[in-house]
C-alpha cells in the first residue's frame, strides 16, 4: 500500500504534466472504485485547468479553476502514470489502454495521465476547494508529519497515557497522518524503541525524539522516489528505491545493521501486521 513518501513521489511526478494545464478530456470508464464516483465526474473535469497539486496525508488534491478540488487516493494498488511528452520536444505514442485504466486525463499539453487500479481500493471525489479538511476521509486526520503543526509537544500530548504499543500508536492517523507500517518500523529502529513497548511507558524525551526521526525517514524515502514493493511505481513508471535502504523492514533473520550488534532482525505480528525490529538495539 502506498504510504506518504510514495504518494508525494507520485504528486511530484504529475506536476510537470498537470499543474497549470487544462484537462482537455476526462474519461471515466466505470461508475466507481471503492465508492461511487461523484456525479457527472467526467463532465465536471473536462475543460478545467489544474491550478495546484497538493497532498494531504496519502491523498492527492488537485485544485481546479472551477473552484472544485479533485481528491485522489491510490488505495492498495492504484497507480497514476503519465505518458506522452508535455514539453512537445519528442513524439511519443501513448500506450494502448489497459484493462484496469479506470480514469484517463487527456491533458491539453499532450500528456495523458492514467489511473490504473486492479484491486479498486482507490477513490476519487470532488468537493468545493477549501472544504477538504471537512471531507469524511480527511476530517479526522492528525497533523502532517512534514508540516509545522507536527511538533514534539504535539506527539508527547497525543501519546500521553496511551496504553497501546508505540507501533500501533504511531499508525493511528489521528496522532500523525500518513505513516504506515514500513516507515513506522524504520522510525522505531532508528529511535531504538521496541515496537511492543507501551506508549505510556516511554519517557517524554524519547517520544519527542521521534519527531525529527519521522521527518528524516520520510524525507529520505521521498528523495529515493518511495519504496517499490509489489505494485508501486513513480508517475513516470520508474521504481522507487528506498526499499534498498530498509534497515529492518522485510529483513527477518538477517543481521542487524548496527556496527558491533550481533543480533538478527526479528518479526512479530501486531494488530495483524508484521513488525520488524532488532531485539538488542530496540528496548
Ligand atoms: Zn541491533
pLDDT at residue 229 in the model: 79
Look up 58 and say whether it is catalytic: yes
160 is an annotated ligand-binding site residue: no
Whether 120 and 172 map to the same domain: the answer is no
Assigned domain for 253 exists: yes
Count of structural domains, the chain: 2
pLDDT tens profile 121-147: 999 999 999 999 999 999 999 999 999
Assigned domain for 140 exists: no
Provide mean pLDDT across the span 8-14: 96
Whether 37 and 63 map to the same domain: the answer is yes
Lowest mean pLDDT among 27-36, 108-117, 230-239: 230-239
Whether 124 and 165 map to the same domain: the answer is no
CA of 276 to the centre of ligand 1 (A): 11
Whether 163 and 50 map to the same domain: the answer is no
CA of 1 to the centre of ligand 1 (A): 27
pLDDT at residue 190 in the model: 98
Among left, alpha and beta (phi > 0; psi -120 to 50; other), residue 5 is alpha
Whether 214 and 266 map to the same domain: the answer is yes
Among candidate residues 92, 273, 69, 266, the one with its CA nearest the CA of residue 168: 273
| Active-site entry in 16, 118, 273, 279 | 273
Assigned domain for 282 exists: no
> 251-278 burial, b if ≥16 CB within 10 A, otherwise e?
beeeebeeeeeeeebbebeeeeeebbbb
Out of 134, 165, 194, pick the residue that ends a domain.
134
Domain of residue 233: give its range.
152-277
Assigned domain for 218 exists: yes
pLDDT at 84 over 90: no
CA of 109 to the centre of ligand 1 (A): 51
Q: How far apart are the first and last CA of the chain?
A: 28
pLDDT at 281 over 70: yes
pLDDT at residue 98 in the model: 87
Among candidate residues 144, 149, 130, the one with its CA nearest the CA of residue 59: 144
Out of 80, 103, 134, pick the residue that ends a domain.
134
Whether 221 and 119 map to the same domain: the answer is no
Look up 2 and say whether it is catalytic: yes
CA of 278 to the centre of ligand 1 (A): 5
Whether 179 and 223 map to the same domain: the answer is yes
Whether 9 and 126 map to the same domain: the answer is yes
Whether 125 and 158 map to the same domain: the answer is no
Name the pLDDT band for 238 (thresholds 50, 70, 90). confident
CA of 249 to the centre of ligand 1 (A): 13
CA of 261 to the centre of ligand 1 (A): 5
CB atoms closer than 10 angstroms to residue 43: 10
pLDDT at residue 2 in the model: 87
Whether 122 and 170 map to the same domain: the answer is no
pLDDT at 91 over 90: no
The domain that holds 211 is classified in CATH as: 1.10.8.50
Assigned domain for 283 exists: no
Whether 23 and 107 map to the same domain: the answer is yes
CA distance 96 to 136: 35
CA of 242 to the centre of ligand 1 (A): 20
Look up 3 and say whether it is catalytic: yes
CA distance 133 to 58: 14
The domain that holds 9 is classified in CATH as: 3.20.190.10
Assigned domain for 144 exists: no
Whether 157 and 67 map to the same domain: the answer is no
Percent of the chain topping pLDDT 70 = 97
Q: Which three cell numbers stand for residue 98?
A: 489497459
Out of 134, 167, 196, pick the residue that ends a domain.
134
CA distance 149 to 13: 26
162 is an annotated ligand-binding site residue: yes
Assigned domain for 139 exists: no
Look up 273 and say whether it is catalytic: yes
30 is an annotated ligand-binding site residue: no
pLDDT at residue 112 in the model: 94
pLDDT at residue 32 in the model: 95
Name the pLDDT band for 93 (thresholds 50, 70, 90). confident
Provide mean pLDDT across the span 11-26: 96
Assigned domain for 120 exists: yes
| Active-site entry in 58, 167, 233, 251 | 58
Q: Which three cell numbers stand for residue 63?
A: 485544485
Amino acid at each position: 500500500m502506498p504510504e506518504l513518501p510514495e504518494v508525494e513521489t507520485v504528486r511530484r511526478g504529475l506536476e510537470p504534466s498537470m499543474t497549470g494545464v487544462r484537462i482537455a478530456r476526462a474519461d471515466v470508464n466505470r461508475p466507481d472504485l471503492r465508492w461511487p464516483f461523484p456525479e457527472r465526474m467526467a463532465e465536471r473535469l473536462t475543460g478545467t485547468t489544474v491550478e495546484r497539486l497538493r497532498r494531504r496525508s496519502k491523498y492527492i488534491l488537485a485544485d481546479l479553476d472551477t473552484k472544485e478540488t479533485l481528491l485522489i487516493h491510490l488505495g492498495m494498488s492504484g497507480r497514476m502514470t503519465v505518458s506522452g511528452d508535455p514539453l512537445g520536444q519528442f513524439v511519443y505514442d501513448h500506450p494502448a489502454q489497459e484493462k484496469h485504466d479506470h480514469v484517463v486525463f487527456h491533458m491539453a499539453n499532450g500528456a495523458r495521465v492514467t489511473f490504473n487500479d486492479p484491486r479498486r481500493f482507490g477513490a476519487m471525489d470532488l468537493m468545493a476547494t477549501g472544504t477538504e479538511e471537512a471531507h469524511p476521509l480527511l476530517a479526522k486526520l492528525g497533523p502532517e508529519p512534514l508540516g509545522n503543526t507536527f511538533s514534539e509537544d504535539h506527539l508527547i500530548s497525543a501519546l500521553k497515557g496511551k496504553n497501546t504499543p508505540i507501533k500501533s500508536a504511531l499508525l493511528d492517523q489521528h496522532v500523525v497522518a500518513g505513516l504506515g507500517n514500513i516507515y513506522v518500523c524504520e522510525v522505531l529502529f532508528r529511535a531504538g524503541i521496541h515496537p511492543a513497548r507501551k506508549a505510556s511507558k516511554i519517557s517524554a524525551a524519547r517520544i519527542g525524539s521521534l519527531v525529527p526521526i519521522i521527518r528524516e525517514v520520510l524525507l529520505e524515502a521521498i528523495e529515493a522516489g518511495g519504496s517499490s514493493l509489489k505494485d508501486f511505481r513513480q508517475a513516470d513508471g520508474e521504481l522507487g528505491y528506498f526499499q534498498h535502504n530498509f534497515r529492518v523492514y522485510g529483513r527477518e533473520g538477517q543481521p542487524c545493521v548496527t556496527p558491533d550488534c550481533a543480533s538478527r532482525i526479528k518479526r512479530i505480528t501486531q494488530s495483524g501486521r508484521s513488525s520488524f525490529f532488532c531485539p538488542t538495539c530496540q528496548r
